[in-house]
A and B are shown apart, each in its own frame.
Chain A
Amino acid sequence: MGSCAGKRPNPKRGLRVTYSSTIRRSSGVLILIACSGALSLAQDTRPKAASTTREAGLAAWQQVYAVLTYPRCINCHTATNYPQQGDDRHPHLFNVVRGPEGTGVAGLNCATCHQSANADTTGVPGAHNWHLAPLSMTWQDLNDNILSSPDVCRSLTDRSKNGSLDGSGILRHHEEEPLVLWAFQPGRRRDGTERSLPPLTHEQFVAATRIWIAAGMPCPQNF
């Protein structure tokens, strides 16, 4: 791992504690939001800088970042000409390549194996429209180092890179995109064991995204 990887939250140890403390710190804000009646994030997810503190937003971002850079997500948010696989993020077997649309090439595209749902009897994961994220949305550098939290945040919020998504669009992506949903229900490996899960549940991930968006999508400064 490169230097950036060492600075990301440890997904197996401190993260849940951090998330809990984030929730505690944010709970007052959330209660305010719930009580106001005028602001329902489920209905209006446009960034509202004043509705949540920057501190709470940054704390929530770290939770979002921990999920985005978990192997279930980063394996398809690669900077490489191929997908990655497994918790060790090894290059995809079978000479699979990115292809012009991020779906492989004719004769060997994602759908050659990945169907619209997990195939637990054969260990092949699946979800609707299996594909790689565009190269503008990579969460790693060309040396396979995970990008820092500020760098991922800047990419995610840069509408010239993220498919012109605003806050509500990003939230919708995290809430509804089939491949995002798949990351939280990744199915079984070929040996029958469960694939590992991101450090947050999908509900927690969406909640953290909401807090971050409500805070105006703040990005941490460079280390």
Chain B
Amino acid sequence: MQTFRLMVNGQARVVTVYPGTPLLWVLREELKMTGTKYGCGISACGACTVHLAGVATRSCVVPVSQIGNRPIVTIEGVEQDRVGRAIQDAWVAEDVVQCGYCQSGQIMSAVALLKSRRTPTDADIEQSLGGNICRCGTYVRIRKAIQAASQQLA
């Protein structure tokens, strides 16, 4: 076991875990931040996506020992900035969610996309969220919500 100091959603947190523990389990089990979901455990579905120093990252495959001093933003903290709020508002306005299990990951990837490309094309959206799987098939509404958020931010 080893102690790690993490910066999560702007707050310093200390955890004592095995170094190889994936960040996802540190968030969910140690910090009780269950907004980030476990889907596949092999980075295939995107449900566990968080931001690591601004980069959309699959928390299920990144050992906590590799985080270093990079700040972590989870779905619980995404509303702290303008892009995150715009995406969340658009998600509600477009009624994107069906079962909701994948949606925190979808939102984190969408925020990363809009922060990098403020007016994404449909192709940009499909490529950037191509690794986020939605079993309910909400892809059309997701694309619509991202375009709406983009317009709201313009």
Majority secondary structure, B binding face: mixed
Complex CA–CA separation, A111 to B131 (angstroms): 13
Contact-residue bracket for chain B: 20 to 34
Complex CA–CA separation, A106 to B109 (angstroms): 8
Binds B, one of A36-44, A117-125, A151-159, A213-221: A117-125
B112 and A121 form a contact (CB under 8 A): no
Nearest neighbor of A94 in chain B, beta-carbon distance: B131
Nearest neighbor of A190 in chain B, beta-carbon distance: B42
A106 and B61 form a contact (CB under 8 A): no
Given known contacts A94-B43, A108-B109, A122-B22, is B116 in contact with A117 (CB within 8 Å)? no
Of B49, B56, B62, B109, the residue contacting A119 (CB under 8 A) is B62
Which residues 89-148 in B have Cβ within 8 Å of A in the complex?
109-110, 112-113, 115-117, 124, 127-131
A111 and B127 form a contact (CB under 8 A): no
Complex CA–CA separation, A97 to B124 (angstroms): 11
A107 and B112 form a contact (CB under 8 A): yes
Majority secondary structure, A binding face: loop
Please tell me the number of chain A residues within 8 Å of chain B, measured between CB atoms: 25
B128 and A108 form a contact (CB under 8 A): yes
Complex CA–CA separation, A105 to B61 (angstroms): 19
Hey, which chain B residues are within 8 Å of A99, CB to CB? 127
Complex CA–CA separation, A111 to B52 (angstroms): 9
Interface residues of B (CB under 8 A from A): 20-22, 42-44, 46, 49, 52, 55-58, 60-63, 66, 109-110, 112-113, 115-117, 124, 127-131
Which 8 residue pairs across A and B have the least CB separation, nearest first?
A121-B20, A106-B116, A107-B128, A95-B130, A107-B109, A122-B61, A107-B113, A94-B131
